[in-house]
């Protein structure tokens, strides 16, 4: 069975070159004047190599975690700070997804790819990158404001996208916050920030720590209960975990 492919003539090419593109499949680059009728035979000779490359690309695409991307959202609610962003999608001729931010609107530029699952994954990844940046813009200054208001001394603030922790605090007073806090209610988000700030005084969960938390957030038990169930209410596009992190 012939291997599906595209033939591209390059004016400076001196030899035939084969490559497998994750979006466009097998691409054969040939020099000017090359007999295109010879290409199927060349592909047949390299069929074992092409199969291995295609299998590797399938694994790479699986790493995009398409199963959790779900339907592309039409809007994103950053409830913790009362923001609503409309989301629009547009296909372009580019090779990757890009997100452009307008006043109250996000536009995601997607490559021309026939695989809708892959497009969903690329759109979700673009939204997660934006969420990380927005979390740095909002959570970092708010944490520093609360620290100054309540007399806490803190170090570096790191923003992450994590599956199971809303925040943490190190012995050096460095605080890590989950970007997904932006999708929680304002009281729940504020509770996490103050919870981690309280750890700069009490690194454990001793009675003294909880007494300090109760002073800062009298309804902390309600907030904690809300956060335990909040994981199940997060939108599908945010569920995949990215390795990147931001510092503030």
pLDDT (0 to 100) of residue 63: 47
Instruction: Please answer whether residues 7 and 30 qualify as being in contact, where contact means their C-beta atoms are separated by less than 8 angstroms.
Output: yes
Task: For the chain, list residues with pLDDT below 70.
Answer: 1-2, 22-24, 56-70, 95, 240-248
Residue pLDDT, tens place only, 155-207: 999 999 988 899 999 999 999 999 999 999 999 999 999 999 999 999 999 99
pLDDT (0 to 100) of residue 111: 87
pLDDT (0 to 100) of residue 22: 61
Q: Which of 16, 120, 20 is nearest to 66 (CA)?
A: 120
Q: 174: which residues sit within 8 A by CB, 6+ positions away?
A: 154, 155, 156, 157, 158
Instruction: Please answer whether residues 175 and 158 qualify as being in contact, where contact means their C-beta atoms are separated by less than 8 angstroms.
Output: yes
pLDDT (0 to 100) of residue 179: 97
Q: What is the token pair recorded at 79? A: 């409830």
pLDDT (0 to 100) of residue 68: 42
CATH class assigned to 75-247? alpha beta
Q: What is the token pair recorded at 230? A: 């909040």
pLDDT (0 to 100) of residue 46: 87
| Predicted model pTM | 0.70
- What residue spans define the domains of the chain? 5-62, 75-247
Residue pLDDT, tens place only, 13-24: 888 998 877 656
Q: Which residue has the tokens 């309280």?
A: 198
């Amino acid at each position: 069975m012939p291997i599906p492919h595209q033939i591209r003539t390059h004016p400076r090419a001196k030899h035939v070159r084969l490559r497998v593109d994750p979006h466009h499949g097998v691409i054969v680059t040939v020099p000017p004047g090359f007999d295109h009728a010879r290409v199927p035979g060349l592909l047949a000779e390299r069929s074992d190599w092409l199969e291995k490359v295609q299998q590797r690309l399938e694994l790479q695409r699986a790493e995009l975690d398409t199963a959790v991307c779900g339907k592309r959202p039409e809007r994103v609610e950053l409830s913790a700070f009362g923001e609503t962003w409309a989301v629009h999608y547009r296909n372009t001729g580019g090779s990757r997804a890009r997100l452009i931010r307008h006043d109250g609107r996000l536009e995601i530029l997607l490559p021309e790819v026939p695989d809708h699952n892959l497009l969903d994954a690329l759109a979700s990844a673009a939204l997660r990158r934006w969420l990380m940046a927005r979390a740095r813009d909002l959570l970092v200054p708010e944490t520093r404001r609360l620290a100054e208001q309540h007399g806490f001394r803190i170090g570096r603030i790191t923003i992450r996208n994590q599956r199971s922790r809303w925040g943490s605090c190190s012995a050096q007073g460095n605080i890590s916050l989950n970007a997904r806090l932006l999708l929680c209610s304002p009281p729940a988000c504020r509770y996490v920030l103050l919870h981690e700030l309280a750890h700069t005084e009490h690194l454990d969960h001793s009675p003294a720590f909880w007494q300090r938390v109760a002073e800062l957030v009298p309804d902390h038990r309600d907030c904690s209960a809300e956060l335990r169930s909040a994981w199940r209410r997060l939108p599908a596009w945010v569920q995949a975990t990215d390795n990147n992190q931001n510092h503030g």
